[in-house]
Amino acid sequence: MTSRFAGLLLCLATVTGCQNEVSVEVRKVGEDVVFVATRGGRAACIDEVRVYAAGDRMTALWTLIAPGKAPCRSEFTYGRGAPGFMEDGHAPRLRAGAGYVVSMDGPGWIGQADFTKSN
């Protein structure tokens, strides 16, 4: 499913888990790009977030990892750390018109969404 939302091309990705579906959504909130995961209509606890340039899934541009028992979070803002999560490097600025992939992992599932940054 693809739609326009506040100047950001959005794609929802659904992955079938044990019994619930996981949806990853990309939103534009002001100047920020926000990633949200839901499972069965509720917030999904995320252990890892990675953002890649489209066509290069070998090198993550930005990574957040929960090194242990981090608080349950289902929403992250690109380039911003979160309590209980380790940030791997500094997130480069997303380029207008460029394509990206966000991958989000949680207990027993992986979800992803493609998006294109606009002005």
- Contact call for residues 49 and 34 (beta carbons, < 8 A): no
Look at the chain and report how many structural domains it folds into: 1
Per-residue pLDDT of 102-117, as tens digits, reads: 999 988 888 999 999 8
Q: Is 103 helix (H, G, I), strand (E, B) or coil?
A: strand
For residue 112, give its domain range. 2-116
pTM assigned to the model: 0.80
Residue 49 forms beta bridges with which residues?
A: 64, 104
Q: What confidence score (pLDDT) does residue 39 get?
A: 87
Whole-number Å distance between alpha carbons of 63 and 12: 20
DSSP structure class, residue 47: S
Q: pLDDT, tens digit, for every residue of 43-97?
A: 999 999 999 999 998 899 999 999 887 888 999 999 999 999 999 888 999 999 9
Q: Find tokens 């289902």 and name the residue.
A: 74
